[in-house]
């Protein structure tokens, strides 16, 4: 049977690569819904090519442009965040790929779970912000959350067939980004252009900056806690510059499983969409002789403090990861706008965490308020730095 896919965030890095996968396998996948926040031109081009049932543009000011551009095609067009949360409930959808950036992915994911849709999760912030709520809903509605991040996909793949074998520890690998090995003095003058120059992966701006600061790995550690029901001390981060070993599971007998492959996001995307089947691909193959040495290093949290802050938020629990995420989204945006420096991002996150209200057992409304408060405090911190 052909799986009908809704792609939330179709114009971003994950969304565009997902469409490449779907295009290569028309006998297995079909585009049912495409959404984008602001990139109306690309959304229209994608819609004309794939002819989905429905298209949603998040920015309501661009509704007329999208609607008029697609008027001659049998495509329903809507606009706004509420419309995105509503379309995921369509009965014609089999899998919802959540590739939206940041906190905005939370509500559509909740609505998709409540509608009984399988979730291919590329929006790590959903579990970072509200992991307890999302995992409880997934259990209640008996739906699968299939990770799309390369690291979590690797852990998931290593656990297939290991249902009754407890995890002792997992190792999330990090490339180290463009600033691997750099000291704090270098980072004080690092530019956004330098930070966006990732050595291995092609990603959106926000994720690439998070990778450079190691916040991405901190967010992934929190996500892994919820996906695989782990304690913080069972999650370790190691720097692996070649990005060939995507992550490792260590079991109670000391055995370790690693998932390996080229650094190509189409692999975990295709695995999530095709699960439980592996779909044949023409992606480049890994050759051991091209990589005679695979190396591993400690992550330097004394320099890259965001990773340490993420672990502190995970250990405290409650709404603190939500606050961490909100502050980080503001910090990254301000860094990209050249309003603060690279090192300042950690200070923004830390001060926001220290000043925000702590809610030990948050509800959905608490997450909304924590996100708003975190952003407000983070902007105040930034304003004092200018």
Which one is predicted more confidently, 320 or 199?
320
At 276, is the pLDDT very low, low, confident or very high (cuts 50, 70, 90)? very high
Q: Encode pLDDT of 181-192 as tens digits.
A: 999 999 999 999
Average pLDDT for 49-57: 98
Average pLDDT for 242-256: 96
SS3 145: strand
Cα separation, 301 vs 297, in Å, equals: 12
Q: Encode pLDDT of 10-33 as tens digits.
A: 999 999 999 999 999 999 999 999
Give the pLDDT of residue 45.
98
Give the pLDDT of residue 310.
98
Which residue, among 158, 163, 103, has the nearest Cα to 134 in the 3D structure? 103
**Chain length of the chain:** 386
Give the pLDDT of residue 316.
97
Give the pLDDT of residue 212.
94
Give the pLDDT of residue 93.
97
Using only C-alpha atoms, the chain has a radius of gyration, in whole angstroms, of 20
Q: Encode pLDDT of 333-386 as tens digits.
A: 999 999 999 999 999 999 999 999 999 999 999 999 999 999 999 999 999 997
At 247, is the pLDDT very low, low, confident or very high (cuts 50, 70, 90)? very high
Give the pLDDT of residue 369.
97
Share of the chain above pLDDT 70, in %: 99
pLDDT over threshold 80, residue 240: yes
Mean pLDDT of the chain: 95
Lowest mean pLDDT: which of 196-205, 247-256, 345-354? 196-205
Tell me the pTM: 0.92
Contact criterion met (CB below 8 Å) for 34 and 27: no
pLDDT over threshold 80, residue 133: yes
pLDDT over threshold 90, residue 229: yes
At 204, is the pLDDT very low, low, confident or very high (cuts 50, 70, 90)? confident
**β partners of residue 95:** 5, 118
Give the pLDDT of residue 358.
97
Q: What residue segments make up the domains of the chain, in order of their start?
A: 3-147
Give the pLDDT of residue 104.
86
SS3 248: strand
Average pLDDT for 300-304: 94
Task: Please give the full DSSP string across 75-142, using - where no structure is assigned.
Answer: -EEEESHHHHHHHTT-TT-SEEEE---GGGGHHHHHHHHHTT-EEEE--THHHHHHHHHHHHHHHHHT
Give the pLDDT of residue 62.
97
CA dihedral 311, 322, 227, 18 (to 10 degrees): -110
Which residue, among 127, 119, 123, 75, has the nearest Cα to 102 in the 3D structure? 123
**β partners of residue 35:** 8, 56
Cα separation, 306 vs 89, in Å, equals: 36
Q: What share of the chain is helix, strand, coil (3-state, %, to 5)?
A: 50, 15, 35
Does the 3-147 domain belong in CATH 3.40.50.720? yes
Which residue, among 156, 154, 160, has the nearest Cα to 265 in the 3D structure? 154
């Amino acid at each position: 049977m052909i799986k009908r896919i809704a792609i939330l965030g179709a114009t971003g890095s994950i969304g565009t690569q997902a469409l490449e996968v779907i295009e290569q396998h028309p006998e297995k996948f079909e585009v049912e819904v495409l959404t984008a926040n602001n990139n109306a031109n690309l959304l229209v081009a994608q819609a004309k090519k794939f002819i989905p049932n429905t298209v949603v543009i998040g920015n309501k000011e661009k509704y007329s442009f999208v609607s008029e551009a697609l008027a001659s095609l049998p495509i329903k067009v809507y606009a706004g965040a509420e419309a995105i949360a509503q379309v995921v409930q369509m009965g014609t959808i089999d899998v919802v790929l959540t590739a939206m950036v940041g906190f905005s992915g939370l509500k559509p994911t909740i609505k998709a779970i409540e509608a009984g849709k399988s979730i291919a999760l590329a929006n790590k912030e959903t579990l970072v912000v509200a992991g307890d709520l999302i995992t409880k809903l997934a259990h209640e509605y008996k739906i699968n959350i299939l990770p799309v991040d390369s690291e979590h996909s690797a852990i998931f793949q290593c656990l297939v067939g290991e249902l009754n074998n407890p995890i002792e520890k997992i190792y999330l690998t990090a490339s180290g980004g463009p600033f691997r090995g750099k000291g704090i003095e270098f980072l004080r003058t690092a530019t956004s252009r330098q930070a966006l120059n990732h050595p291995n992966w092609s990603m959106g701006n926000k994720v690439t900056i998070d990778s450079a600061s190691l916040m991405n790995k901190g967010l992934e550690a929190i996500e892994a806690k919820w996906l695989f029901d782990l304690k913080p001390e069972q999650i370790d981060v190691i720097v692996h510059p070649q990005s060939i070993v995507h992550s490792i599971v260590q079991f109670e007998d000391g055995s370790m499983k690693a998932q390996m492959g080229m650094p190509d996001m189409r692999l975990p995307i295709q695995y999530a969409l095709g699960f439980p089947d592996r779909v044949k691909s023409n992606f480049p193959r890994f050759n051991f002789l091209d990589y005679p040495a695979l190396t591993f290093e400690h992550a330097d949290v004394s320099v890259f403090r965001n990773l340490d802050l993420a672990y502190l938020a995970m250990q405290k629990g409650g709404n603190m990861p939500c606050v961490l995420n909100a502050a980080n989204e503001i910090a990254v945006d301000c860094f990209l706008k050249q309003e603060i420096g690279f090192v300042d991002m950690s200070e923004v996150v830390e001060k926001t965490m220290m000043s925000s209200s702590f809610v030990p057992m948050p509800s959905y409304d608490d997450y909304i308020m924590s996100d708003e408060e975190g952003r407000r405090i983070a902007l105040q911190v930034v304003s004092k730095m200018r």
